[in-house]
Homo-oligomer: A and B are copies of this chain.
Amino acid sequence: MKIYNTLSKSKEDFKTITPNEVRMYVCGVTVYMPPHLGHARTYVAYDVIKEYLEFKGYKVFYVRNITDAGSIVGDADQGEDKIQLKANEMHVHPMELVDMNIRAMWYYLDSLRCARPNISPRATGHILDIITAVQKMIDSGFAYELDGDVYCDVTKIKNYGILSGNTLDALNAGARIEVKSGKHSPYDFTVWKKAQDKSVLRWPSPWGEGYPGWHIECTVMSTKYLGSHFDIHGGGRDLAFPHHENEIAQSQALGCGMPANYWVHTGMLLAQDGSKMSKSAGNFVTIEDAMQKWGARSLRWFFVSGHYNSPIKYGDDVMAASNAGLERIDNFLFNLQNNVGNTHNATLSANLDTLKDRFVAEMDDDFNTPNAISAIFDFIKEANQSITNHEFDKANQDEILDFFKEINKIFKCFDTLENKQADNRQEIVQKLIDERNAYRKVKDFAKADEIKAKILAMNVEILDNKDGTTTFRLK
């Protein structure tokens, strides 16, 4: 099995520290607002990674933090805490805002069928651990206090830039940035920040009242729950620098070396035209918008269908295409469950074996979901005729269903498997009925009858009411 490691910029063989066990940390949401569609993409991607590792027989211990303090606007020295700022705007207590957004986060990620991490630690639950770590960094000479703030001295960090390529030489060659008087280097980053006068989010510390810098919380929480050396550290591509680079620096400052073996990053979610989604550009889509329009299942399927490592473009066209694909699988699975015949189909069995091999080979190659899904579509294309014609027996049915149930623990989109009368049959029939009604309205009865035949073939009773409406009953 191979995983692309941002650290080496190459696909590497995956070897765990402890045999058969994977310890994985993923940077979580800053809960100053509900999660956005990019978060949904990222956490569905890690859910697939986690589930595939379990499919491969690993025991996965998955920690994803919740940043409920310490995320500073623009990650700047003088910026404000995002949560404090948003709470001020909304005239609520910062912790009230945090509770609302944690609730929203779980609502959306649960709806998208992401398994909960084993532990979801909150920054505010680890302030003492953070203060202990900051003090240790000061004691070992890697950090210094300046007027109530504490900075990590990047000039002391060997190999700074090892993950992102942003070495101090490279950074210094860039634009000049304003340096706070007294900082050793303009790239020294905050590990503890002095509280502003009006800040409610503040804790006593050896350096006065303040709050943690953004990067230190992930160093503290990842190593607290996974040990100082774990397998996978993940997050969105935009976190590689400065966040993950600074985590690596902090671990070095704490005498622990490289914290994780594999640094995994998910590609960004873009608007359909390839531009960055942003509120100012007016192309920002919330998870709520997308779920209302397409449903959580279709949204998950769209995310699953893209390679986690690549940027993906979200829009009506790609969603419709992705949905059409899911519907093909739905119909296949529906027919597979309802059309069983009496003759064993050896070709179908052989094709299933091919699918199994291809699926694992593709997923083993850096979780290549789009290629794995292509293999599924190739199998369905070959199988569809036999399935429609009842040219398969119970043994064929069982082995195919078993495999789809197995991979559905990873993809979690094939609702048709759970029950012959799954909700999605309801959806499919409703769509067909709407289509038929449209034809009836324009008096194209030939087309309308064609669709009616399709509906009846799905084991559905159509009830045409006197008032012109149509209802139906699944049998």
Contact = CB atoms under 8 A, between A and B. Distances in A.
A128 B95 contact: no
Nearest to A123: B125
A124 B125 CA distance: 5
A93 interface: yes
A47 to B, nearest CB: 16
A183 B108 CA distance: 51
B128 A125 contact: no
Interface centre among A124, A125, A203, A204 (most CB of B within 10 A): A125
A18 to B, nearest CB: 16
A96 B225 CA distance: 10
Nearest to A129: B203
A342 interface: no
A118 interface: yes
Nearest to A68: B125
Nearest to A120: B99
A310 interface: no
B103 A118 contact: no
A408 interface: no
Give the copy number: 2
Interface in A120-134: 120-122, 124-125, 127-128, 132
A202 to B, nearest CB: 10
Given A124-B125, A473-B471, A118 B96 contact: yes
Contacts of A438: none
A225 B93 contact: yes
Interface residues of A, number: 24
Contacts of A473: 463, 471, 473
A203 B119 CA distance: 18
Interface in A78-135: 93, 95-96, 99, 103, 106, 116-122, 124-125, 127-128, 132
Contact of A99 (B119, B204, B463, B471): B119
A203 B128 CA distance: 7
Contact of A128 (B119, B121, B127, B225): B127
Given A132-B204, A473-B471, A95 B124 contact: no
Interface string A116-160: 111111101101100010000000000000000000000000000
Given A132-B204, A203-B128, A119 B96 contact: yes
Given A128-B204, A132-B204, A204-B128, A121 B95 contact: yes
A38 B106 CA distance: 26
A127 B132 CA distance: 13
Nearest to A95: B119
A472 to B, nearest CB: 10
B103 A119 contact: no
Contacts of A471: 473
Contacts of A122: 122, 125
A70 B204 CA distance: 21
A132 B122 CA distance: 21
A447 B305 CA distance: 57
